[in-house]
Amino acid sequence: MKTFEFNDQILSILYRDSDWVEGLNFITPNEMFVQVGSWWYDKGKVLARHVHKDFERTAIRTQEAVYVKHGSMRVDLYSDQLEHLESFVMYEGDLAVFAYGGHGYEILEDGTKVIETKNGPFLDVETDKTKF
């Protein structure tokens, strides 16, 4: 697992397919608006049935996670001032969580499949994004 930081803020956490550990592993720190974890259990493990209660949470920005199911893509990380800081490639089985700063993607293989999740709802481009 690699954490990319700039000015004491987490830009991205890259969780490679090879980073998995057995059991429950939370990848993100508690202060992030989105929580991401991994599960690795053997056959027969039973997780308690549950219902999530209503509980008001406040988020001041959108944070997202992307998982590459198939293929690969390049990720470009930017500061909040829109300066390019670093790039990395994600491959099948890799997950990245984005907190602060900006990011962009380039798909590197035909048929690349990515799952994206974020705290929502997404309202519209004008409200949620600054494109550059």
- pLDDT confidence bin for 79, thresholds 50/70/90: very high
Q: Give, as one character, the DSSP assignment of residue 18.
A: G
Q: What is the pLDDT of residue 18?
A: 96
Q: What is the rounded average pLDDT for all residues in the chain?
A: 94
- pLDDT confidence bin for 11, thresholds 50/70/90: very high
- Residues in a beta bridge with 44: none
Q: Is the CA virtual torsion 30, 35, 39, 45 positive or negative?
A: positive
Q: What is the pLDDT of residue 83?
A: 97
Would you kindly state where each structural domain of the chain is located, as residue ranges?
2-40+59-128
- pLDDT confidence bin for 90, thresholds 50/70/90: very high
CATH architecture of 2-40+59-128: Sandwich (2.60)
Question: Is pLDDT at 123 greater than 90 in this prediction?
Answer: no
- The Cα–Cα gap between 33 and 58 comes to 8
- pLDDT confidence bin for 103, thresholds 50/70/90: very high
Question: Is residue 69 classed as helix, strand or coil in its secondary structure?
Answer: strand
- The Cα–Cα gap between 88 and 105 comes to 10
pLDDT, tens only, 44-74: 999 999 999 999 888 888 899 999 999 999 9
- The Cα–Cα gap between 77 and 74 comes to 10
